[in-house]
Structure 1
Amino acid sequence: MNLRTILILGALSAFAPLAIDFYLPGFPAMATAFGTDEKHVQLTLAVYFLGLSIGQLAYGPVADRFGRRVPLLAGVGLFTVASLACSFAPSLEWLIAARFVQALGGCAGMVISRAVVSDKCDAVGSAKVFSQLMLVVGLAPILAPMLGGVLVNLYGWHSIFIALTLFSAMAGIAVTFGLPESLPAHQPRPPLSGALRQYGRLLSDRLFLGHALTGGIAIAGMFAYIAGSPFVFIKLYGVPAEHYGWLFGSNAAGFILTAQVNARLLAKRGPAFLLARAVWVYLLAGLTLLGISSLHTEQLWPLLVPLFICISSLGCILPNASACAMNGQGARAGSASATLGCLQFGVAAAAASLVGVLHDGSAVPMALVISLCGVLVVTLAVSTRRVKNARVIQG
């Protein structure tokens, strides 16, 4: 897969994290503008996760039936229009509704970029490309909060969504002229009427489901961090909004570095082997974070160390879990990618909401949800590996 394709797929995969990370520094400003508190502003984040989860189920069968380009361009166009609507939101209710529509458009890039990789690569090749995509995707959480903080301070929170409008329009142009159709013309294209049956087969596949949920719950922990960190960093520990991006970006840098190390390790070890080890790092870091947060330390740095390790480990967990889940899906790659994404962001929506529900004025709710995700990820990874070993023995 050439560099141009990887960059375009990376931009498409970045739609969802960019639309999240970019506006996080604007939470306090939006709460003031709409005369509410940050707990209610967090609903714009939870509803975005919900839209990402639901929308992906529609794009999967459509991409398998009609190819990758048409639904991709439709989704990018919808994201562009919704981003513009967000920038002119006169009320929080308007913003919540527009964010939901924005998510419905943005999830097209996530679903179809994974399907394109599956069209072109085997399991190890897919894991390598997913790791390379993490380099592009990882730039979003490094640059977005910093730029978002600057825009909020200079031009107000509306400017964030205008910038997203311009980004999505440029991505649409790149797809139009730089991303050819990847679904082979000779490959059977399942009818849309069989979509529910296809999803039923995927959900009954314990190996696929186990890998999908392993990655999904790991992502849920990351989005618990995304939902809770504006309060913890800015409100609780007094980090200026314009400096929030530096802390957020340092964790994203660890994520990117781990993903690139993972790509190199795949030359010697398969994605399943690396996944089985990385989940334990995630769990131990999450439990350490919970222990430190329960002490209610006056300084922020003791929390930052286990948080950095936890987020960094996702650079190994996410590409390998995705590669294992997508391996061998063939003609149903679009539906498999949609199921994978729906599970991931459905759980992420619940995790983000749970952080808000448990809000008690400390870092404990965020740490508690992250550590709980770590326990579930290890449990799923171990049980899925047993299922895989049993199939090898039976086969």
Structure 2
Amino acid sequence: MSERRVAIFGAVLTAIGPISMAISTPAMPEMVTAFSTNQAAIKISLSAYFGGFAVAQLLAGPTSDAFGRRVATLGFMAIYLIGALIAIFASSVETLIVGRLIQGIGASVGVTVARAIVRDLFTGQEAARIMNLIGIMVAIGPAMGPTIGGLALSAFGWESVFILMALFGACIIVGVLALLKETTIPDRSRIRPARLLSAYREILSEPRFLCTSMILGGSVGALYAQATMLPFVLIGAVGLTPTQFGLAMLMQSGAYVSGSIVLKQVSRRIGGTGAVRVGLACCGLGGLLMLSWNLILPATLMSVMGPVAICTFGIAFLTPQVVTIGLAPFPHIAGSASALMGFIQMSCGFTAGLAAAAVGSPVLAFSTIIPIMEFTAVAGYFGYLALTRRR
């Protein structure tokens, strides 16, 4: 497939996870009332999505190696569609949690297959360039997600956000059938337990892979984790309406788009290493601002979203290069390596989401948990540098 088609498909597949999260966030406070439950239960429904997404990647990646990228994508997207339908017709918060869990399992194929397809066809700076293009296009969906979700919520109620997800899943299935070509040679022996364990053992034996996954887990994982907190911080503590919340989230996705565009312009000048360092500097600065402003001063729109925008700008800089160097040693098991990287990334978001539910106070959780994750990403890079120098 052409570089453009790979970038478009990669963007659509990667975006299914963030969009399924972003569209639903404005409806979370209303779902508390609709199901006669509490904030913690609704947060758990999103954490269930994260959990299904994270764990299922460990199967989605090897499945795409064993049966091909097309077959794996179609199968898991069918599961995603079933989960969306369960959520639409949920009559209790327990049913909603089950639907979100199933949705997460289905959506797990997106980022795994997208990265594997890029690794199948491209390497080095070419792969990093495509990942950056994917990042630019991916940002458009999550940027509009909260806004669209907020408008749909105001017009049609909370069920409408899951109807939008079901339509998105159906469109992906049609697109895969019509346009996606197979990019790997399927090998069904790769799904056997012994081969599967051997592949993951090989990947985990590379400590630099663990460090790159730690960078992504701390930085990108923070985006997933704060999705469970920001609706309650901005709507509950700051006092925004759901529609205003959707518009405020444009600061986050706008920062990602801006970072991706700037990176495209300066990448040849600063190189991959320079891009990662700029990105991590932004993540560290944003984490410090979150920690200092919101623990000392009352939460406001700018004290919350300003640091979020700085961190997100940095994530756009570091993600393409970190993903590329993390997957580079594993061309023969790109699906499994991509799956394990995604599992670590999403597990960090899932764990932080559970920690936020346990803390109780949305502002306190946001102001402490997210900075810790950003600092973890910085620590992962220093670990990577130490291992590289040793070699």
Structure 2 length as normaliser, TM-score?
A: 0.95
Partner of 1:343: 344
Equivalent position SS for 2:104 = helix
Give the letter aligned to residue 288 of structure 2. L
| Structure-2 change in CA distance of 1:191 and 1:307 (3 Å) | closer
Equivalent position SS for 2:183 = coil
Partner of 1:244: 245
How far is 1:162 from its partner? Answer: 1.0
Identity of aligned residues (%): 24
The equivalences for 1:297-316 within 5 A come to 297=298, 299-316=300-317
Note if contact 1:31-1:37 (Cα within 8 Å) is conserved in structure 2: yes
Note if contact 1:146-1:242 (Cα within 8 Å) is conserved in structure 2: yes
The reply to whether residue 101 of structure 1 matches residue 111 of structure 2 is no
- Equivalent-residue separation in structure 2 for 1:266 and 1:122 (angstroms): 16
Note if contact 2:32-2:39 (Cα within 8 Å) is conserved in structure 1: yes
- Equivalent-residue separation in structure 1 for 2:116 and 2:224 (angstroms): 23
The reply to whether residue 363 of structure 1 matches residue 363 of structure 2 is yes
- 1:178-197 deviations in Å (ceiling 9; x for gaps): 11001157x99746331011
Name which of structure 1's ranges 264-273 and 284-293 shifts more when overlaid on structure 2: 264-273
Note if contact 1:8-1:171 (Cα within 8 Å) is conserved in structure 2: no
Note if contact 1:89-1:95 (Cα within 8 Å) is conserved in structure 2: yes
- Equivalent-residue separation in structure 2 for 1:213 and 1:357 (angstroms): 23
The equivalences for 1:227-306 within 5 A come to 227-297=228-298, 299-306=300-307
Partner of 1:389: 389
Note if contact 2:50-2:104 (Cα within 8 Å) is conserved in structure 1: yes
Equivalent position SS for 1:180 = coil
| Structure-2 change in CA distance of 1:260 and 1:184 (3 Å) | farther
- 1:317-361 deviations in Å (ceiling 9; x for gaps): 22222111111311110000000011010111001111221122x
Unpaired runs of 5+ residues, structure 1, are none
| Structure-2 change in CA distance of 1:358 and 1:298 (3 Å) | closer
- 1:149-204 deviations in Å (ceiling 9; x for gaps): 1111111111111111111101111111111001157x997463310111011112
Equivalent position SS for 1:90 = coil
- Equivalent-residue separation in structure 2 for 1:160 and 1:25 (angstroms): 9
Equivalent position SS for 1:297 = coil
Name which of structure 1's ranges 273-282 and 331-340 shifts more when overlaid on structure 2: 273-282
CA RMSD of aligned residues (A): 1.7
| Structure-2 change in CA distance of 1:48 and 1:284 (3 Å) | same
| Structure-2 change in CA distance of 1:151 and 1:328 (3 Å) | same
Note if contact 2:57-2:342 (Cα within 8 Å) is conserved in structure 1: yes
Give the letter aligned to residue 335 of structure 2. G
- 1:289-308 deviations in Å (ceiling 9; x for gaps): 11000123264323332221
The equivalences for 1:50-69 within 5 A come to 50-69=51-70
Partner of 1:118: 119
- Equivalent-residue separation in structure 1 for 2:299 and 2:345 (angstroms): 34
Structure 1 length as normaliser, TM-score?
A: 0.94
Partner of 1:135: 136
| Structure-2 change in CA distance of 1:215 and 1:298 (3 Å) | closer
How far is 1:109 from its partner? Answer: 1.5
Q: Provide the aligned length of Structure 1 versus Structure 2.
A: 389
Partner of 2:15: 14
- Equivalent-residue separation in structure 1 for 2:384 and 2:344 (angstroms): 16
Note if contact 1:271-1:323 (Cα within 8 Å) is conserved in structure 2: no
- 1:51-103 deviations in Å (ceiling 9; x for gaps): 01110000111211222111111011111121111100111000101111111
The reply to whether residue 177 of structure 1 matches residue 139 of structure 2 is no
Partner of 1:226: 227
Name which of structure 1's ranges 268-277 and 95-104 shifts more when overlaid on structure 2: 268-277
- Equivalent-residue separation in structure 1 for 2:22 and 2:263 (angstroms): 24
Note if contact 2:80-2:105 (Cα within 8 Å) is conserved in structure 1: yes
- Equivalent-residue separation in structure 2 for 1:356 and 1:301 (angstroms): 23
- Equivalent-residue separation in structure 2 for 1:309 and 1:287 (angstroms): 11
| Structure-2 change in CA distance of 1:292 and 1:74 (3 Å) | same
